[in-house]
Amino acid sequence: MTPGRGTGASPGRIHVMQLTNGLGIGGAEIVIRDLARTVDRSRFHVSICCLKSLGPIGRELAAEGVDIYTLPGADVHKPDYLSALALRRVVRERGVDVVHSHTTHALMDAAICRGLSCRLRVAHTFHFGNYPHKPWRDLWMERLACRMPDRLIAVGEAQRRQILTTFRLPPSRVGVVRNGVQPVTGDGADPAFRARIGAEGRILVGTIATLIPQKGLFDLLEAARRVRDQRPDVHFVVVGEGVLRPDLERKRAELGLDDTVTFTGWVTNAASLALPAFDIYCQPSLWEAMSISILEAMGAAKPVVTTEVGEAPHLIAHGQEGFLVKPRDVDAMAAELLALAGDAARRRAVGLAAADKVRGAFTVDHMARAYERVYEELVSL
Domain 14-180+363-379 - what CATH class? alpha beta
Orientation of helix 83-94 relative to helix 104-116, angle to 10°: 60
> What's residue 11's pLDDT?
65
Q: Please work out, in degrees rounded to the nearest 5, the angle formed at the alpha carbon of residue 243 by the alpha carbons of 237 and 244.
A: 55
Residues 6+ apart with CB under 8 A from 355: 183, 298, 299, 300, 301
| Single pTM value for the model | 0.92
> What's residue 78's pLDDT?
67
pLDDT digits (tens, 9 = 90+) for 259-304: 999 999 999 889 999 999 999 999 999 999 999 999 999 999 999 9
Q: Which residues of the chain fall below pLDDT 50?
A: 1-8
pLDDT digits (tens, 9 = 90+) for 33-76: 999 999 999 999 999 999 988 999 999 999 999 999 998 776 66
Strand 151-154's sheet: what is its strand order?
A: 67-70, 44-53, 14-22, 98-101, 121-125, 151-154, 174-176
CATH architecture group of domain 193-361: 3-Layer(aba) Sandwich (3.40)
Rounded distance between C-alpha atoms, residue 286 and residue 75, angstroms: 33
Q: What is the residue extent of each domain of the chain?
A: 14-180+363-379, 193-361
